Amino acid sequence: MVGPKQMIPRSNLLRCLIAALLLGSAASADAAGSGQLRSRGKVILEKNCGGCHAIGTVGASPLAQAPPMRDVYVRFLPRELQAELREGMVSKHRAMPQIDFSDEDVDAILAYLYALAVRK
Ligand code: HEC
């Protein structure tokens, strides 16, 4: 019987592992192209932010002082926004309920906002 280990030489296996690790670090860029992640981001934003911020490509924010999300993304560097979301956006954003998003949630939110900015 020929098992999978015998079919793939060890060195190739190692190369695959390294490639997978390298790909992992580019995961958030990849994620931006993933529709599933995007729609999850949209749901999160709708639930947590949509009461005040407009989160679509068009339309005004329900709360006039809150900038539409599509403008927020353009204004912030992605890294900055990512950090802010992780920290719960404390400093600038006192009106907002403070939420500490998980890394996956942050990725989902960024994927959606990225798509929003690109579509604009
Ligand atoms: C209760 C209303 C409310 C909710 C809910 C809310 N925001 Fe805001 N947000 C505001 C207001 C008002 C401003 C503008 C004034 C300010 O900067 O504090 C704002 C500003 C922002 C800014 C821009 C800050 C800047 O310096 O330009 C970002 C980014 C932002 N909100 C993200 C979010 C995200 C992400 C969520 C959901 C997780 C969210 N907000 C939920 C009211 C809200």
Give the pLDDT of residue 10.
Answer: 61
What's the CA gap between 4 and 2, in Å, rounded?
7
Query: Using a 6 Å cutoff on CB, does residue 72 contact ligand 1?
Result: yes
Q: Are residues 10 and 36 in the same domain?
A: no
Domain range for 16 = 1-31
What's the CA gap between 42 and 18, in Å, rounded?
33
What's the CA gap between 84 and 10, in Å, rounded?
43
Q: Are residues 24 and 37 in the same domain?
A: no
What mean pLDDT, rounded, does the chain reach?
73
**For residue 40, what is the enclosing H or E element?**
helix 35-48
Q: Are residues 61 and 115 in the same domain?
A: yes
Give the pLDDT of residue 50.
Answer: 92
Q: pTM here?
A: 0.69
Q: Are residues 53 and 25 in the same domain?
A: no
Give the pLDDT of residue 78.
Answer: 72
- The residue whose CA has the least distance to atom 19 of ligand 1 is 66
Give the pLDDT of residue 17.
Answer: 46
Q: Are residues 6 and 45 in the same domain?
A: no
Give residue 66 CA to ligand 1 midpoint distance, Å. 6
> Which pLDDT band holds residue 62 (cuts at 50, 70, 90)?
very high
pLDDT at 74 over 80: no
Query: Using a 6 Å cutoff on CB, does residue 63 contact ligand 1?
Result: yes
Q: Are residues 23 and 74 in the same domain?
A: no
pLDDT, tens digit (0-9, with 9 covering 90-100), for 4-50: 555 655 655 455 444 444 444 444 445 445 788 899 999 999 998 89
Q: Are residues 25 and 74 in the same domain?
A: no
Domain total of the chain: 2
Q: Are residues 49 and 27 in the same domain?
A: no
Q: Which residue has the tokens 């020929």?
A: 2
Q: Are residues 15 and 44 in the same domain?
A: no
Query: Using a 6 Å cutoff on CB, does residue 83 contact ligand 1?
Result: no
| Ramachandran quadrant class, 102 (left: phi over 0; alpha: psi -120 to 50; beta: rest) | beta
Q: Quick one: average pLDDT of 108-120?
A: 79
